[in-house]
């Protein structure tokens, strides 16, 4: 396959490159442009966050990149290779060896009747050439890399794990096939604030140790500024602002970005106290 996505002069093609990617749901009057001409690039080892409110098209973008949805227009390149049209399940499976995802609800991602061991095993079907011993080794290594004790976790059922542990098993499942790109779609939304930091630290460690490229999808801009190198702010399907995280946080240019920062509850500065007008001390 030719390399139309490779930039001339660049030593390495970006891991992911979307060019004018669009997805329209519905037809005619009711058509919704969920993702509208999105162009973005992710270099190897980069953590980029897509931030926007509910309904801004973040998750649709994630599903397009995962090739779970067909784009209506635009092109998608993975390491310079055009993956916009992947015909047949076999070719998608081959793609998912390199691109994996973690979703919002760690409980919904499990079959609750199967222990962690079978959840992880089923993911290893993507690596059918491995021997049984090698598969076991991968499972142990993956669980250890997310800070879980494989000996005790492997035989537990999903309901026996806490929310944070479940999400860590999901991350282990995703990184077990040694992908290059991990799409994390709101991975901490349903997790307690106290274990949220642990999940983020796991992702940061994987990024550092394995050069894992991460596309982080979130509505929480403080989370995004904490983990990422690059921010993409999305509104109504379009990327309205993009840039290195320092630049966007220091001098946001788009009104919507400023609004996001203003609306986020902070521990610093003047407290908002909407009810202070009366009664409350």
Q: Which residues bind other proteins (CB under 8 A)?
A: 53-55, 162-165, 189, 192-201, 204, 219-223, 225-228, 245-246, 249-250, 259-261, 263-268, 271-275, 277-281
* Closer Cβ to other proteins, 28 or 281, answer by number: 281
In whole angstroms, the minimum distance from the beta carbon of 90 to other proteins comes to 36
79 versus 196: smaller Cβ distance to other proteins = 196
CB-nearer residue toward other proteins: 60 or 79: 60
CB 135 within 8 A of CB 121: yes
Smallest distance from the beta carbon of 175 to other proteins, in angstroms?
19
CB of residue 226 vs other proteins: minimum separation in angstroms?
5
Alpha helices in the chain (DSSP H): 58-65, 89-96, 116-123, 132-145, 150-153, 163-176, 193-210, 221-227, 245-250, 255-263
Q: Write down the least CB distance from residue 54 to other proteins, Å.
A: 5
230 and 60 Cβ atoms separated by less than 8 Å: no
Task: Report the C-alpha gap between 157 and 97 in whole angstroms.
Answer: 26
Number of helices and strands (H, E) in the chain? Answer: 10, 10
Q: How far is the CB of 27 from other proteins (least distance, A)?
A: 19
Nearest approach, Cβ of residue 212 and other proteins (Å): 14
Give the nearer residue to other proteins in terms of CB position, either 2 or 194: 194
Q: Distance of CA 255 to CAs 176, 234, 248, 260, 280, Å?
A: 41, 12, 12, 9, 33
Q: Which is nearer to other proteins, 129 or 250 (CB)?
A: 250
Closest approach of other proteins to the CB of residue 55, in Å: 6
Residue found by looking up tokens 């007008």 in the block? 277
Instruction: Report CA torsion sign: 198, 200, 201, 203.
Output: positive
Using CB atoms within 10 Å of the CB of residue 257, give its burial: 0 to 12 exposed, 13 to 18 middle, 19+ buried: buried
List, edge to edge, every strand of the sheet that includes 32-42.
32-42, 16-25, 73-78, 81-82
Nearer to other proteins (CB atom), residue 8 or residue 54: 54
Query: What whole-number distance in Å separates Cα of residue 96 and Cα of residue 154?
Result: 23
Q: Which CB atom, from 122 or from 259, has the smaller least distance to other proteins?
A: 259
Choice between 125 and 276, CB closer to other proteins: 276
Residue 28's Cβ-side half-sphere holds a number of Cα atoms within 13 Å equal to 1
């Amino acid at each position: 396959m030719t390399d139309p996505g490779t930039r001339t002069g660049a030593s390495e093609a970006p891991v992911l490159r979307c060019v004018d990617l669009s997805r329209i749901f519905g037809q005619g009057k009711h058509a919704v442009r969920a993702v509208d001409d999105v162009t973005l690039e992710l270099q190897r080892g980069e953590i980029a966050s897509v931030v926007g409110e509910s309904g801004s098209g973040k998750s649709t973008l994630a599903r397009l990149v995962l090739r779970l949805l067909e784009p209506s227009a635009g092109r998608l390149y993975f390491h310079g290779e055009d993956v916009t049209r992947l015909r047949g399940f076999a070719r998608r499976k081959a793609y998912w060896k390199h691109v994996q995802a973690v979703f919002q609800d760690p409980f919904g991602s499990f079959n609750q009747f199967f222990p962690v061991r079978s959840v992880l095993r089923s993911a290893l079907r993507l690596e059918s050439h491995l021997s049984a011993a090698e598969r076991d080794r991968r499972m142990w290594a993956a669980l250890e890399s997310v800070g879980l004790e494989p000996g005790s976790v492997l035989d537990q059922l999903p309901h026996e794990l806490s929310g944070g542990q479940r999400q860590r098993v999901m991350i282990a499942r995703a990184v077990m096939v040694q992908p290059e790109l991990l799409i994390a779609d709101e991975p901490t939304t349903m997790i307690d604030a106290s274990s949220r930091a642990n999940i983020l630290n796991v992702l940061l460690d994987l990024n550092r140790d394995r050069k894992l490229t991460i596309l982080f999808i979130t509505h929480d801009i403080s989370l995004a500024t904490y983990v990422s190198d690059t921010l993409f702010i999305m509104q109504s399907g379009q990327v309205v602002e993009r840039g290195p995280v320092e630049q966007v946080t220091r001098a946001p240019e788009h009104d919507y970005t400023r609004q996001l920062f203003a609306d986020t509850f902070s521990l610093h500065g003047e407290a908002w106290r909407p009810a202070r007008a009366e009664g409350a001390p």
